[in-house]
Amino acid sequence: MKRRDFSLAGGVALAAGALVLPAARAQTTTPAQVQGKAPQAGEDYLALDKRVPVDAPAGKIEVIEFFWYSCPHCNSFEPALDAWIKRAPKDLVVRRVPVAFRDDFVPQQRLFYALEAMGLVDQLHRKVFTAIHVEKQDLARADAIANWVAKQGVDKAKFLEHYNSFSVATKATRGTQLQNAYKVEGVPALGVAGRFYTDGTLAKNMDRALQIVDFLAAGIRSGR
């Protein structure tokens, strides 16, 4: 979903339903087969003019997926991303960062970071997408989010304690700072090593975006 579209949409539901990037597709080719040529800076991906600090330890390559739970193409991309993570080289460290292009995105930012703080991302991350995009539940507000989490067997009071905590608020702020530092123009999008950015518009689709990340990671390993 293009960032400018969020400001044009009348609300979250309209944005989620109408204004989207090309859909993610299953990855079927290798980095060397990216449409027969090497990805080009400025065309297929962007080299950041200012490096972004990374959290990955030395010797590791940080990859960030920027997403929004209510984005239909983030939902479509999730299975391909999961499969890619499972077969990715051990030196890749993948982080998910929820975006907040507007203030009304913040509840879902906090949802992710609260789940992360409780060690529930593996259990519930995909279920959030399913609830929104398959079951058509409205999880845009804190009260609806807390009620939904409680229905998943999670202690509601404990969840709200994390959701409203200073730590989660700080992580949400940091997530927004990261999205701005990478100059994220739409979601889903991928940041690499604090140096590179690509998304569905630049790569033409998210399958190819993953291949571009593989290409960039190989270059980083070789010292390029």
Predicted confidence at residue 173, as pLDDT, reads 97
6 pLDDT exceeds 90? no
User: For 53-81, how does the pLDDT look when each residue is reduced to its tens digit (9 = 90+)?
Assistant: 999 999 999 999 999 999 999 999 999 99
Please report where in the chains the tokens 């009304």 appear, as a residue.
Answer: 104
Average pLDDT of the residues in 9-28: 37
Please report where in the chains the tokens 């609830």 appear, as a residue.
Answer: 131
In the chain the domains, ranked by start, together with CATH numbers, are 3-21+34-221 (3.40.30.10)
User: For 167-189, how does the pLDDT look when each residue is reduced to its tens digit (9 = 90+)?
Assistant: 999 999 999 999 999 999 899 99
Which residues on adjacent β-strands are paired with residue 93? 62
On average, the pLDDT of the chain sits at 88
* Spatial CA neighbour of 186 closest among 75, 66, 106: 66
Strand order in the sheet with 189-192: 46-47, 196-199, 189-192, 61-67, 92-98
Predicted confidence at residue 2, as pLDDT, reads 63
Contact 149, 101 (CB under 8 A): no
Predicted confidence at residue 169, as pLDDT, reads 98
Residues in the chain: 224
